[in-house]
């Protein structure tokens, strides 16, 4: 990550990690992210005094449902009895650093009789302040689903803000002093914040861009400037000021009622939810994204890496790419939540602008390979763009259509467009920070308290939002089934559900309240209540870690989810107990092999989930430990640090590669892209007086202009035309020449005939899979495999997939070779506007994605796309590796034209030093002339590093070769070299 130290990272997320709160504040705990030297509570800011006091209105705040959908608080019989008791209750003392005891509302069956025996429901009759004290450690991504705009944060003393507002006196200059302070923003993406904090030592130069998460219309210009300055200097943050109404429409309506359901496979029924399909809030969504773009552009510095996060800002990458200021900036986008299949995403009325917005990035990242595949397929099917296993090819015209500024080209990269990489970057937690927090005394205190209160009982713990996506209702139904099926567990097993902050309507939509009431009324006794609810505002992080530590099982029943980081926290908290994890198979975490050691459940299967609860609670210690070891090994590998470093490094690398590729096409006058036509007369003197010559020629497209019609491609090979055969024979006849023919065709029945027609010529077959040595009088020529022990069983299923697409693509057919497979999806005229050809290209993109997803990673395959076909072959095999084998004196080709001191390719690349690199190959004094005539640009680029090498491209495209040559003139040009040998 050392190379990232030279770049500032601009992190765009909807909410800043730190927010500004009006009013005084008690001194909060120090935050490790604070870098300023001043106090946390700035001095009061003088603002103009109003001519007359404005009408006082209650501060805005959404109501956290404490009664699960508006029903009265659920009381147990014990609470009823408690309210009638006349004797005082003596609570257990708590550490001074902690708040109230959230577990003091209930006791276990074994609680002492002289103590108050109460039952926790988490549904306190007196509502608590929805904004709790700032935490030293933010846990996983908190809920941000609200019916209305986020509430303004209140100071710890509720009267402080009101007092500060009412009692502020006007100064002589007509200004009013308004105190304000900073607090941790409970609405920020906690997983992202923790990940960035985990690499703070290596990522010291950064800038957060986001909103404060409060109502800001009443902030004066003077106050906003002071907040801007304070946030920039102390917190490396730049606030985005958005009108309250605009933000509410964007966030509460479009993000949460349109995007959130669609991304999580919860498309509502059209008659009931007209808003989903005809939402007018997309205009506000566009406006919010534009405000983010304006702030980033205004603060952009050359060299910055721009990292855009989550579904709230899907338009932002294209807006930044459209600006001349950030046009060439590295831009990465990461989707923290799930991404659905194209059948779901296509229901969105604004699907195209959302997709084109993401394609403005250099890199688009997802939590799992499934989400990445869904995105590629969605882009291919909706935008008709070429979607490949590694990303999406965006044409220049498509980018221009996605621009909102009306510019002719979004990226200024010319007619070739851009390639947007699509990658998988699983998020993790900061294991080291969690371990440090676990060792603190207050955590141990709460562990002991919970063990005392729940002695003899087993705890099933969950932590979810109460909306329908998180599947809490399914969890409760499964728990009820478990209690009914296993009556011996009644009174001995408690489900403690920690609920992330949410709203009454979300809880009502989640359908939780009726299930809680039914289960508790069915199974409760005087001293037992099976389901306990606690809101995150009721718990400190120490108490939450203690709860994870004493849990006998952790239950996640999400119907769809990105990465369930709370399961990672549970695994690490179970380091001493090793209790099992029950995990929905629809979470992103389950898609990774390390998490397959959990007890997987289908949340829609109530009985199966209930049986899983019983299995977890009755699991033996040895099996539980073995499962925990696998989970632990994955958690400590998939860390927050690995997530940040891999994403930023990949983004920077992708941007560098894209710029290099686009630069070669945009600089039309460059001698690098358009070298001079091959001047044989300038090379002949060197050729004549060289004692050793290495000649490398492409067969197809250079020596032989193959008929690409369907009939000709499927006809048996009868031999090369006389012209290429004659010129090869004459060149091979010169003892100083070592001649090699490079081809993608198969050896058997094709290239072996070429070798017979031209004795002494070396042949590379199937793009480097096989090499036929030149042969000598002592050693006859032979075919050498470059595959080593590569598993070739992939070919069968690959051909099956291609046959499936062949049946659906007119004119397509499969060419199965010995070590590779070619699918020719188009053999007609090269008319880009032909509907049949466009259909064939879309089918080809889907076929490539299917092969790569099902076979690519498993077998180690690579796919080389072409204009009318694509090739599937083993990874680390190419013409470059074959030429590397030719150049190495100890390689399988045993070329005598290379000096003994030449280095072979690094063995780390493949069995023969493969990969797509020639390595550090040096030519000796004897081999003073190397001529390569090819359309393989990578090969030519690498051969340029050889001293004395002359490279000539026949591709007809931009090239780094030293010469260019029309393929139709190749044989004529080579005849001049043959004449010089005579």
- The C-alpha atoms of residue 178 and residue 200 are separated, in whole angstroms, by 33
Say what the pLDDT of residue 253 is: 87
User: What's the pTM value of the predicted model, to 2 decimals?
Assistant: 0.67
E strand or H helix at 532: strand 531-535
How far is Cα of residue 899 from the mean position of the Cα atoms in its chain?
Answer: 47
Contacting residues for 833 by C-beta, under 8 A, at least 6 apart: none
Q: Mean pLDDT across the stretch 662-682?
A: 64
- The C-alpha atoms of residue 57 and residue 50 are separated, in whole angstroms, by 16
Which of the pair, 332 or 141, is modelled with greater confidence? 332
- 499-518 confidence digits (pLDDT tens): 886 555 555 555 787 888 89
Say what the pLDDT of residue 142 is: 40
Half-sphere exposure of 398 (CA within 13 A, CB side): 24
Q: Nearest Cα to 697, choosing from 438, 510, 953?
A: 953
Say what the pLDDT of residue 636 is: 93
Cβ-count burial of 280 within 10 angstroms (0-12 exposed, 13-18 middle, 19+ buried)? exposed
How far is Cα of residue 980 from the mean position of the Cα atoms in its chain?
Answer: 58
Sheet (strand 949-953) strand order = 783-785, 770-772, 762-765, 737-742, 693-698, 929-934, 949-953, 963-964
Query: In which residue are the tokens 């927050």 written?
Result: 640
Q: Mean pLDDT across the stretch 577-583?
A: 95
Sketch out the chain's domains with CATH numbers. Answer: 189-397+416-424 (3.40.50.2000), 432-638 (3.40.50.2000), 680-786+877-906+925-980 (3.40.50.1000), 794-874 (3.90.1070.10)
Task: Categorize the per-residue pLDDT at 863 as very low, low, confident or very high, splitting at 50, 70 and 90.
Answer: confident
Contacting residues for 793 by C-beta, under 8 A, at least 6 apart: 859
| Euclidean distance between the first and the last CA atom of the chain, given in angstroms as a whole number | 57
- The C-alpha atoms of residue 927 and residue 470 are separated, in whole angstroms, by 68
Say what the pLDDT of residue 70 is: 39
393 within 8 A of 588, measured Cβ to Cβ: no
The torsion angles phi and psi of 46, rounded to 5 degrees, stand at: -80, 125
DSSP state of 747: I
Q: Mean pLDDT across the stretch 26-52?
A: 46
Cβ-count burial of 496 within 10 angstroms (0-12 exposed, 13-18 middle, 19+ buried)? buried
Burial 655-687 (b: 16+ CB within 10 A, else e): beebbeebbbbbeeeeeebebeebebeebeeeb
DSSP state of 748: I
Query: In which residue are the tokens 């998180």 written?
Result: 470
Say what the pLDDT of residue 927 is: 54
| Dihedral angle of Cα 656, 661, 664, 668, to the nearest 10 degrees | -110
Q: Mean pLDDT across the stretch 96-118?
A: 44
Beta-strand (E) ranges in 287-415?
305-309, 331-334, 363-366, 386-388, 391-394
- 344-356 confidence digits (pLDDT tens): 998 888 999 999 9
Which residues does residue 762 pair with via DSSP β-bridges, in sequence order? 740
Say what the pLDDT of residue 687 is: 92
Count other Cβ atoms within 10 Å, centred on residue 97.
Answer: 12
288 within 8 A of 241, measured Cβ to Cβ: no
Contacting residues for 252 by C-beta, under 8 A, at least 6 apart: 146, 147, 148, 149
Percent of the chain with pLDDT over 90: 47
Contacting residues for 213 by C-beta, under 8 A, at least 6 apart: 15, 16, 19, 150, 153, 185, 186, 187, 188
Contacting residues for 811 by C-beta, under 8 A, at least 6 apart: 710, 825, 826, 827, 828, 836, 840
Task: Categorize the per-residue pLDDT at 398 as very low, low, confident or very high, splitting at 50, 70 and 90.
Answer: very low
Checking if the pLDDT of 129 tops 70, the result is no
Task: Categorize the per-residue pLDDT at 551 as very low, low, confident or very high, splitting at 50, 70 and 90.
Answer: very high
Which of the pair, 268 or 139, is modelled with greater confidence? 268
Say what the pLDDT of residue 510 is: 57
Checking if the pLDDT of 139 tops 50, the result is no
Q: Mean pLDDT across the stretch 949-976?
A: 90
DSSP symbols for 803-816: HHHHHTSTT-EEEE
The token pair that represents 434 in the structure block = 């969690």
314 within 8 A of 19, measured Cβ to Cβ: no
- 189-204 confidence digits (pLDDT tens): 989 999 999 998 888 7
Cβ-count burial of 173 within 10 angstroms (0-12 exposed, 13-18 middle, 19+ buried)? exposed
- 783-811 confidence digits (pLDDT tens): 999 888 888 999 999 999 999 999 999 99
Q: Mean pLDDT across the stretch 240-258?
A: 91
Checking if the pLDDT of 116 tops 70, the result is no
Checking if the pLDDT of 757 tops 70, the result is yes
Q: Mean pLDDT across the stretch 683-710?
A: 91
Q: Mean pLDDT across the stretch 317-323?
A: 95
- 886-932 confidence digits (pLDDT tens): 887 766 555 444 433 233 333 333 333 344 444 443 333 345 799 99
Say what the pLDDT of residue 890 is: 66
Say what the pLDDT of residue 51 is: 45
| Dihedral angle of Cα 780, 786, 787, 788, to the nearest 10 degrees | 70
- The C-alpha atoms of residue 285 and residue 248 are separated, in whole angstroms, by 10
Q: Mean pLDDT across the stretch 709-719?
A: 89
Say what the pLDDT of residue 885 is: 87
Task: Categorize the per-residue pLDDT at 119 as very low, low, confident or very high, splitting at 50, 70 and 90.
Answer: very low
3-state SS, 228-290, equals HHHHHHHHCEEECCCCHHHHHHHHHHHHHHHHHHHHCCCCCCCCCCHHHHCCCCHHHHHHHHH
Say what the pLDDT of residue 24 is: 73
How far is Cα of residue 192 from the mean position of the Cα atoms in its chain?
Answer: 12
Q: Nearest Cα to 427, choosing from 648, 137, 641, 600?
A: 641
Q: Mean pLDDT across the stretch 440-460?
A: 93
Checking if the pLDDT of 334 tops 90, the result is yes
- The C-alpha atoms of residue 180 and residue 338 are separated, in whole angstroms, by 37
- The C-alpha atoms of residue 953 and residue 499 are separated, in whole angstroms, by 64
Count other Cβ atoms within 10 Å, centred on residue 455.
Answer: 11
Task: Categorize the per-residue pLDDT at 854 as very low, low, confident or very high, splitting at 50, 70 and 90.
Answer: confident
Checking if the pLDDT of 722 tops 70, the result is yes
DSSP state of 426: -
State the chain's mean pLDDT as an integer. 78
Say what the pLDDT of residue 176 is: 56
Say what the pLDDT of residue 912 is: 33
Contacting residues for 56 by C-beta, under 8 A, at least 6 apart: none
Contacting residues for 955 by C-beta, under 8 A, at least 6 apart: 701, 935, 937
Say what the pLDDT of residue 902 is: 36
Distances (CA, A) of 595 to 70, 430, 598, 629: 37, 18, 6, 10
773 within 8 A of 893, measured Cβ to Cβ: yes
The token pair that represents 757 in the structure block = 């027609």
Task: Categorize the per-residue pLDDT at 44 as very low, low, confident or very high, splitting at 50, 70 and 90.
Answer: low
């Amino acid at each position: 990550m050392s190379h990232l130290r030279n770049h500032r990272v601009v992190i765009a997320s909807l909410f800043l990690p730190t927010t500004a709160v009006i009013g005084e504040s008690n001194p909060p705990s120090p935050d490790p992210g604070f870098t300023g030297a001043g106090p946390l509570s700035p001095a009061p800011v003088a603002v103009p005094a109003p001519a007359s006091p404005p009408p006082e209105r209650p501060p805005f705040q959404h109501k956290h449902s404490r009664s699960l959908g508006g029903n009265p608080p659920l009381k147990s019989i014990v609470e009823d009895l408690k309210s009638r008791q006349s004797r005082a209750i003596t609570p257990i003392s708590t550490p001074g650093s902690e708040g109230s005891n959230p577990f003091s509302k209930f006791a276990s069956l074994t609680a002492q009789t002289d103590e108050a025996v109460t039952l926790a429901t988490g549904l306190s009759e007196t509502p608590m302040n929805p904004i709790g004290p700032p935490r030293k450690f933010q846990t996983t991504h908190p809920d941000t689903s609200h019916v209305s705009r986020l509430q303004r944060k209140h100071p710890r003393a509720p009267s402080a803000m009101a007092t500060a507002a009412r009692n502020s006196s006007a100064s002589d200059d007509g200004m009013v002093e308004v105190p304000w302070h900073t607090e941790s923003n409970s609405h920020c993406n906690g997983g992202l914040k923790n990940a960035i904090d985990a690499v703070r030592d290596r990522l010291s130069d950064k800038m957060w861009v986001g909103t404060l998460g409060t109502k800001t219309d009443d902030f004066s210009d003077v106050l906003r400037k002071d907040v801007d300055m304070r946030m920039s200097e102390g917190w490396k943050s730049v606030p985005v000021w958005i009108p309250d109404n605009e933000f509410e429409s964007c966030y509460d309506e479009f993000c949460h009622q349109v995007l959130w359901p669609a991304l999580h496979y919860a498309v509502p029924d059209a008659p009931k939810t007209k808003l989903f399909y005809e939402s007018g809030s997309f205009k506000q969504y566009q406006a919010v994204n534009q405000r983010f773009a304006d702030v980033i552009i205004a603060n952009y510095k050359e060299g910055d890496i721009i990292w855009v996060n989550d579904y709230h800002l899907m338009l932002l990458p294209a807006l930044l790419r459209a600006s001349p200021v950030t046009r060439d900036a590295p831009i990465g986008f990461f989707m923290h939540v799930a991404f659905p299949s194209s059948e779901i995403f296509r229901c969105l009325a604004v699907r195209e602008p959302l997709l084109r917005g993401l394609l403005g990035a250099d890199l688009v990242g997802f939590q799992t390979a499934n989400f990445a595949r869904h995105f590629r397929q969605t882009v291919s099917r909706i935008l008709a763009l070429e979607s490949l296993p590694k990303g999406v090819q965006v044409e220049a015209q498509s980018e221009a259509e996605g621009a909102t500024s009306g510019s002719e080209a979004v990226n200024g990269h010319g007619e070739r467009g851009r390639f947007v990489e699509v990658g998988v970057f699983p998020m993790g937690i900061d294991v080291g920070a969690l371990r440090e927090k676990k060792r603190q005394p207050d955590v141990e205190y709460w562990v002991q308290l919970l063990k005392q209160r729940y002695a003899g009982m087993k705890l099933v713990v969950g932590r979810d939002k109460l909306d329908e996506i998180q599947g809490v209702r399914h969890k409760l139904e499964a728990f009820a089934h478990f209690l009914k099926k296993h009556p011996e567990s009644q009174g001995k097993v408690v489900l403690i559900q920690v609920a992330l902050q949410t709203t009454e309507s979300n809880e009502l939509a989640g359908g939780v309240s009726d299930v809680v009431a039914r289960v508790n009324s069915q199974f409760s006794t005087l001293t037992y209540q099976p389901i306990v609810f606690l809101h995150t505002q009721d718990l400190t992080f120490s108490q939450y870690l203690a709860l994870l530590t004493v849990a006998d099982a952790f239950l996640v029943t999400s119907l769809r989810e990105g990465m369930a980081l709370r399961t990672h926290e549970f695994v690490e908290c179970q380091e001493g107990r090793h209790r099992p994890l029950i995990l929905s198979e629809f979470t992103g975490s389950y898609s990774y092999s390390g998490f397959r050691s959990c007890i997987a459940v289908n949340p829609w299967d109530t009985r199966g989930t209930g049986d899983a609860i019983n299995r977890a609670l009755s699991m033996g210690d040895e099996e539980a430990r073995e499962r925990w070891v696998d989970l632990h090994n994955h958690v400590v590998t998939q860390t927050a640090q690995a997530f940040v470093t891999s994403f930023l490094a990949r983004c920077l690398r992708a941007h560098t590669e894209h710029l290099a590729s686009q630069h070669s096409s945009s600089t039309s006058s460059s001698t690098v892209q358009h070298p001079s036509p091959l001047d044989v007369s300038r090379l002949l003197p060197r050729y004549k007086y060289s004692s050793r010559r290495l000649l490398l020629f492409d067969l197809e497209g250079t020596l032989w202009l193959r008929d690409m019609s369907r009939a000709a491609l499927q006809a048996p090979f009868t031999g090369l035309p006389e012209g290429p055969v004659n010129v090869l024979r004459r060149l091979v006849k010169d003892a100083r020449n070592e001649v090699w023919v490079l081809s993608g065709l198969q050896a058997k029945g094709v290239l072996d005939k070429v070798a017979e027609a031209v004795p002494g010529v070396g042949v590379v077959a199937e793009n480097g899979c096989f090499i036929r040595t030149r042969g000598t009088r002592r050693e006859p020529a032979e075919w050498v495999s470059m595959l080593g022990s590569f598993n070739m069983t992939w070919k069968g299923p690959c051909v099956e997939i291609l046959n499936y697409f062949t049946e659906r693509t007119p004119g397509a057919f499969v060419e199965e070779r010995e070590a590779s497979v070619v699918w020719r999806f188009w053999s007609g005229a090269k008319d880009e506007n032909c509907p049949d050809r466009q259909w064939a290209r879309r089918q080809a993109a889907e076929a490539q994605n299917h092969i790569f997803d099902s076979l690519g990673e498993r077998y180690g395959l690579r796919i080389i796309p072409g204009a009318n076909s694509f090739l599937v072959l083993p990874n680390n095999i190419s013409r470059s590796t074959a030429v590397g084998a030719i150049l190495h004196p100890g390689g399988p080709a045993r070329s005598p034209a290379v000096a003994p001191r030449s280095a072979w390719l690094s063995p780390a690349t493949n069995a023969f030093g493969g990969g797509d690199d020639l390595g550090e190959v040096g030519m000796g004094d004897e081999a003073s002339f190397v001529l390569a005539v090819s359309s393989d640009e990578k090969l030519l680029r690498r051969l340029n590093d050889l001293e004395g090498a002359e490279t000539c491209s026949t591709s007809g495209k931009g090239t780094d070769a030293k010469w260019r040559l029309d393929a139709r003139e190749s044989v004529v040009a080579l005849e001049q070299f043959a004449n010089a040998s005579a």
